[in-house]
Every structure is written in C-alpha cells, then in structure tokens.
Chain A
C-alpha cells in the first residue's frame, strides 16, 4: 500500500540556517500522526513542506505516491508550475493556528468558495454539502455569520469544514487549538476526533498530549530539525527512550 505521506531525509534551509536536517516520516492512509516538539524545532515548516507552501532543499517528499512540487519524467524531475501545484493541493486540506478564514465571506461562503471556484461544483450542490459539513461541526445555525461574529472555537470549526469541503485525502493541522481560550479547545478537538474516527488521514502538530495519547496512531518528537523519536503514543509519551524527549515531556506535562 502506498503511504499517504512519505518523507525521506527532507531538508530545508532559510538562508544560512538549516531548519529541517533530514526528516524521515511515513504516514499510512487512515493514520493519525501527531508531531510534538519545542518551539522552533521545525514542526510548522515540515507541515508546510507537505503541501508545498515551502520548497524543500533536499531529500524526497511524496503524498499518496506523488512527489510534492515535482513531476517525474524518466530520470528527470521537473519543478511544477504554480498552477500545477494548486491542482495537487486540492487533495490536501490544511487548518491553521490563526484560522485564516476569509473575513469578507460568511461561514457558508468560506466553505463553498473553493468547491465552486476550483472544482466547479454546481452552486446548489456545493451549498448543500457545505450546510451538511457545518452541521457536522455543530454550526448549522451559524452559516450566515461572518467570521468576525464567531468565537475562536467556532471559527476554527468553520476552517475545518472549509478544508473538508474539498474532500481531501489528507488533512494537515498546525496547532489548531493554540490560539483558543482553554474552554474552547475541547469543541475543536472533538471535531478532529470525529474526523479521525471516520478514517481521515491526519498530520497534527499539537501540544495537546491528551489528544495525542487518545487519537494518534503514531507520535513523532521533533527537535532541532530532526525526528528524535517516533512510535505509538504510549511508547513515546509513556516510556520515552531519548533524553531530549524526556526533558520536553517533563516540561509540558
């Protein structure tokens, strides 16, 4: 079976600073992988590489068997044009720490925009599916609200519905609950647990250890641009083998 995400020796530098120093990670279809690690360890950067918001400098990165950002023809790699990259991104949903909803569109508009404009789904059908998704994240009654009229937790749930509307085969979450008040974290995690239960493949950067323990199939601990330790949550979180993992867990738990 092809891996949904396969990273082999992925490196990335910003100017003189090497931020990713050879990341190896494999995520099978239907799996939930949680990335942990201290601030600046490269978690966001790696996640952004997966849908080519950042270009990698070395190694190989593929999603569902297709190289990210390149097309292979014979023994050559051709860099994809912006338009081709956009086509590949349709299958990868992303949820951001700061929601990034479109403020000039209602919740419903946010969810229907990409299906209508990118996939050319008929408007009525897109609307119907959007309402179903909003209902699923518990926001059926907020469809006609603008993002500025929603709480942080509600905005993040709209953002998840917006990503799901493209029917992605992979969802990326970058600290989806870090910008939320503590009492709003639960409602977003519940939606994510629902997605995981439905078999969605997910890569989640998070500091929510409870979520990682409960939902993750594998947990990867990143530090200083490398994967220090990877394995099932009860091993990595319960019996960490590396000193750096232990030190980090001591601090966050």
Chain B
C-alpha cells in the first residue's frame, strides 16, 4: 500500500516526557537547597547586603577587573607572537618560544608572582646603557620601577602568554592548509596571510578556550595579594579576618565574581558571533 491514497495523516512530534520529569526533580531540589540556605543561621542576608557595596569592596572589584583585562590583553598579544614564533621556519626563534612556554607553564603562578615582587632582591638596579660608550640612558633602583602593581601585571601577563600561545597555536593549526595556499596564490605575503586569512578563521577555535583563560585569570588575580593587594578577594579577606563573618563575606565575593564572569561571558558571546560569520553553524549572516 502506498501513502498517496492515505487520507489526511496527522504529524505527531516526539513527546519529551523525560524533560518534564527532569524539570520537576530539579525544581524540587532547588527549593530544598534554597530553604536550607535561607534558614541557615550563618548566611545573614542583611550582612551580605551591607558589605556588597562598601567602597573597599567596589575598589576590589575594579582592581580585579582591570588586572584581568590588562593581563589578558598583554597575554593574548604576547601569545600570538609566541605562537607565530613556534610555527616559524627559524629554529632559533622556535627554540626561544618553546623555552619561554616551558618555563612559564612549568612553574607555579604563585612562584612567578613572588619572583617578580621581589625582583629587587635579585637585581638591585635596572640599568640601560649604550655599549662601549659608557653613556647611561636609564638607571633606577628595581624597587622603584617594578612596583607591586607592575610586578603583578608582569607576572600575570607573562604567565598568560605561555598558555595563550598554545591555545592560539592550536587555532592556527586547525585552519585548513588550502587557505594559506589560496592566499599565497593571490600574491599575499606570509604576514598578510596570517593577519587576514588564518587568524580570523583561527579565532573560532581560539575564543572558547580563551574565555576559559579569562575566567581563570579573574580568579588568579587573588594571588597577587601577597605583593600588591586590594583585589576583590583580598578586600573581602581583610574584612572577615577582623569581624569573623566569613560566610557572608565569601558570599559577597562570590556574587561579584559571578557578576564579572557573566559580563565576560556576554562579551565572549558577542565576539564569537562576530567571528562565526560565514560558518554554517552558530553565527549570524
């Protein structure tokens, strides 16, 4: 029997009974958790609200935000350079890049932060002079040049460069070799090809892990408290070390970190949409 002589068939979409069931279970669990939270004697919603917008907390939020952004911008720029060096034909440049990545990925970030914080102990003065002439262009004590903040930015961004380099190298390698050939056949130079053809396509692969990197960085800024301080986590810690309201203040920190991460995720979404253009999935036309 053929379907042509079957009268008016009704199409029934797949029924998702499982979805309703999971929704029910999740809603139940969420309600239980919320009740436990609100009835806990240590949460103190009032205290949370009180500290959420204190000046030093807001200062901490700002510090965390600009430290993260600056370290990520410098880290990404350096990462692109390191990735290109690692893929270059020049064995010396490849070696330099490999060594940099090896050192900065191979040692703990905390150690690097402390190292830059106490750079003055290792090299008391920073001197720049013209060789063989004795002309001194620059000569200052290290502790004056590399302040706590400079050391923090230096440590965070150099560390980030090493990780970003590998992410970006992966993205570059993911671009089809035919693209480079097509660009070459059009007379585009290697640098132009990298800038206009390879990197824009690599971005699609690079952005999601770099989003991860940014979020990790947001939280890593707490480590600089040892040498510079005043980031969000440090601000909150110094308060609860005095008044012992540990849980409410950690909730304050968590709320701010969540807010910052949401902000960054929105940014990531915009960037992903921009670089998804022309690819069949996940992009506006």
**Chain A interface residues toward B at CB < 8 A:** 51, 53, 82-83, 86-94, 96, 98, 100-106, 113-114, 117-118, 146-149, 159, 162-163, 166
Contacts and interface: CB of A to CB of B under 8 A. Distances in A.
Contacts of A104: 200-201, 275, 277-279
Given A104-B275, A117-B196, A98 B178 contact: yes
B87 interface: no
A89 B181 contact: no
Contact of B182 (A100, A106, A117, A166): A100
B192 A117 contact: yes
Contact of A103 (B183, B185, B279): B279
A100 B178 contact: yes
A101 B187 CA distance: 15
A89 to B, nearest CB: 4
Contacts of A93: 185
Contacts of B178: 96, 98, 100
* Residue with the greatest number of chain A CB neighbours at <10 A, chosen from B179, B181, B278: B278
* Residue with the greatest number of chain A CB neighbours at <10 A, chosen from B186, B196, B278: B186
Given A100-B179, A105-B278, 18 more contacts: A51-B185, A53-B185, A83-B189, A86-B189, A86-B190, A87-B187, A89-B185, A92-B185, A93-B185, A94-B185, A102-B179, A103-B201, A104-B201, A117-B196, A146-B277, A149-B285, A162-B186, A166-B186
A148 B201 contact: no
B248 to A, nearest CB: 48
A53 B181 contact: yes
Counting chain B residues whose Cβ lies within 8 A of the other chain, the interface size class is 20 to 34
Nearest to B182: A100
Interface string B163-196: 0000000000000101101111111111010001
- Secondary structure at the B interface, as helix, strand, loop or mixed, is helix
Contacts of B179: 100, 102
B58 to A, nearest CB: 40
B5 to A, nearest CB: 33
B187 A114 contact: yes
Interface in B253-285: 275, 277-280, 285
Nearest to B281: A148
Nearest to B193: A86
A96 B189 contact: no
Contacts of A114: 186-188
A102 B197 contact: yes
A88 B189 CA distance: 11
Nearest to B275: A104
A250 to B, nearest CB: 33
A92 B187 CA distance: 8
Contacts of B186: 89-90, 113-114, 118, 162-163, 166
27 contacts: A82-B190, A86-B188, A87-B187, A88-B187, A89-B184, A89-B185, A89-B186, A90-B187, A91-B187, A92-B185, A96-B181, A100-B179, A100-B182, A101-B182, A102-B179, A102-B182, A103-B279, A104-B200, A104-B201, A106-B278, A118-B187, A146-B277, A146-B285, A148-B278, A148-B280, A149-B285, A163-B185
A86 B184 contact: yes
A183 B180 CA distance: 30
A193 to B, nearest CB: 22
Interface in B181-223: 181-190, 192, 196-197, 200-201
